[in-house]
Amino acid sequence: MMTLETHYRRLLRWYPASWRAVHGDVLIGTLMDAAEAEGRTRPSGAEARSMMLHGIGERFTVRAALLAAVGALPFSFAGILVTLVGLDTIAQFGGGWVPLALNLLVAAPLATIAALALPRHAGLLRPDRVLAVLLLAVTAWACAFLAAWSWSVGFDEADAGLLRTPFSLAFGPLFVAGWAIGGLAFALAVLELGRSLPRGIRWAPPLVSAVIAPPVIGLAAYPRTPAFSQAPGSW
């Protein structure tokens, strides 16, 4: 049977080893004192969630930023290379979506991790908030991928004189969803970065970034290559 300390030690694994070595014993002692005072033999649900969120957030370090940035480069390059030299071939086998997936589902989320890790390491983003921003951003990238793929399918259907399928008709909702979720991610990040600003102007930068940043970043992440949508068989 696990002791109260063992339960907390297991939750402490969410934190990086370097953080545990410096702060782990103090945190465990504080949590155990509170639990014993309340007569609990296990961590509360709120404690477990808090330790998970903060532990993951503490892993957003300079090293994580460098690894994510370096990891994004080959996937981005591969997406461009496939579009330039192999799109027609893979499109014949229904793989015309691959360059978009490499850029929007792999390279872009990795670049997002790199972009968030630096302000998190500097203390500008709190650990629990950075994870929320990342989850929203990854969801927005997934919507962007589906929207781009949907638009491509609709282009091919129109070019072939076919009836529109439900997936191609979903371009509008997918585009709006990606913009809205991406805007929420930007708003949350900018609001967190500007939490020291006066209350009267604190909301202006998040609102502006929520409207402008998602389409700009999305277009920048789209492969700067011959139009994916014009490849035959991109569905």
pLDDT at 86: 72
69 CB-near residues (< 8 Å, 6+ apart): 110, 111, 114
pLDDT in tens, 140-168: 999 999 999 898 888 888 888 888 899 99
Report d(CA 149, CA 169) in Å as an integer: 11
Question: Is residue 43 helix, strand or coil?
Answer: coil
Q: What is the mean pLDDT of the chain?
A: 88
213 CB-near residues (< 8 Å, 6+ apart): 182, 183, 186
The answer to whether the beta carbons of residues 234 and 228 sit under 8 Å apart is: yes
Give the global pTM.
0.84
pLDDT at 1: 59
Domain residue ranges in the chain: 4-56, 61-230
pLDDT in tens, 195-215: 888 887 888 999 999 999 998
pLDDT at 202: 87
Closest CA to 178 of 148, 153, 202, 201: 148
216 CB-near residues (< 8 Å, 6+ apart): none
